[in-house]
Amino acid sequence: MSSIKLYYYPASGPARIALMAARLVGVPLQIEIVDLMKREQFSEAYLKINPQHCVPTLDDDGFILSESRAIACYLADKYGTDDSIYPKDIKKRAIVNQRMYFDCSTLLVKMRAICHPIIFNIENEIKENLRDDFNASLSVLDKYLENNEWVAGEHVTIADTTIFASMSGIFAAGWDLSYFPNIQRWLKNCSNLPGYEEIKEGAKIYGDLVKKNLKQ
């Protein structure tokens, strides 16, 4: 198998989603750093690859794909050898997809509403309504985990790597998870997954950016 290129920036949650999915599937990657802080995503060369000028982008022997969850699904479908990671069974797959959509349409949106104004120095504190809104969605995630070891059932899937990588930045910023025992247990399970340490390094960068601008 020839090496697949992943255009990546460690502080980017979506980029970490694609990376951790690849690690779970076991597919080799050639990592190409696109430094968002230096605006390398707007370079002429990168815009030819991805006109949306975002990370991640996958280049699999000339097949170009962006959007982290699409990349995760593609890698699992093409290179996965364990059907449980992204099940072929239509109902089991639907649950995995639903969990990933829940992340991108709800968890990620609410996390960004909190973190991005702080990272970009617009705010220096977390508004109570945003905190409550995000915690309400974490309560849903905690409920999904109430009778399951993993977010989509009994087996680890790309839904787990997606939600973990996506939320790892705000967790690294020190979000209070004391009300979410099932999430705490799940995070311990995630620490044994392939790529965990790489994801943790990128999440720390994101978390530190948040903590730096928070009013003490």
10 domain residue, yes or no: yes
pLDDT tens string 129-168: 999 999 999 999 999 999 999 999 999 999 999 999 999 9
Q: What local confidence, expressed as pLDDT, does residue 178 receive?
A: 97
Percentage with pLDDT > 70 across the chain? 99
- 74 and 98 in a single domain? The answer is no
- Based on the structure, what is the number of domains in the chain? 2
Residue 1 has pLDDT above 60, yes or no: no
Q: How does residue 2 score in pLDDT terms, banded at 50, 70 and 90?
A: low
Amino acid at 144: Y
Q: Which domain holds residue 9?
A: 4-79
Q: How far is CA 50 from the centre of its chain?
A: 19
Kindly state whether residues 48 and 135 are assigned to the same domain: no
pLDDT over 80 (residue 29)? yes
Is residue 208 scored above 70 in pLDDT?
Answer: yes
Q: Residues with Cβ < 8 Å from 152, sequence gap 6 or more?
A: 92, 95, 96, 99, 144, 159, 160
Do both 127 and 168 map to the same domain? yes
**Same domain for 23 and 95?**
no
pLDDT at 21: 98
High-pLDDT (> 90) share of the chain, %: 95
- 181 pLDDT band, cuts 50/70/90, is very high
Task: Among 33, 54, 79, give the residue marking a domain's end.
Answer: 79
Q: Pick the last residue of a domain from 29, 54, 79.
A: 79
64 in a domain, yes or no?
A: yes
- Is residue 109 domain-shared with residue 183, that is, in the same domain? yes
Both 70 and 160 in a single domain? no
Single out the residue in 79, 101, 132 at which a domain terminates. 79
| CATH number (domain holding residue 31) | 3.40.30.10
- How many Å separate Cα 134 from the centre of its chain? 16
Strand partners, 32: 7
Q: Are residues 178 and 114 in the same domain?
A: yes
CATH value at residue 133: 1.20.1050.10
**Cα angle at 165 between 63 and 86, to 5 degrees?**
60
Beta bridge partners of 33: 8
Instruction: Tell me what the pLDDT averaged over the chain comes to.
Output: 96
The single residue of 12, 66, 68, 166 carrying the catalytic annotation is: 12
Question: Does 72 share its domain with 107?
Answer: no
Is 94 among the domain residues? yes
Residue type, 164: F
Q: What is the pLDDT of residue 3?
A: 78
Is residue 19 domain-resident?
Answer: yes
Q: What is the DSSP letter of 75?
A: H
Mean pLDDT, range 47-62, rounded to an integer: 95
Asked if residue 79 has pLDDT above 70, the reply is: yes
What number of helices (H) and strands (E) belong to the chain? 9, 4
Q: Is 132 exposed, middle or buried (0-12, 13-18, 19+ CB in 10 A)?
A: exposed
- Give the number of C-alpha atoms closer than 13 A to the C-alpha of residue 187, restricted to the C-beta side: 18
User: What local confidence, expressed as pLDDT, does residue 215 receive?
Assistant: 80
Is residue 134 domain-shared with residue 62, that is, in the same domain?
Answer: no
* Active-site residue, 168 included: no
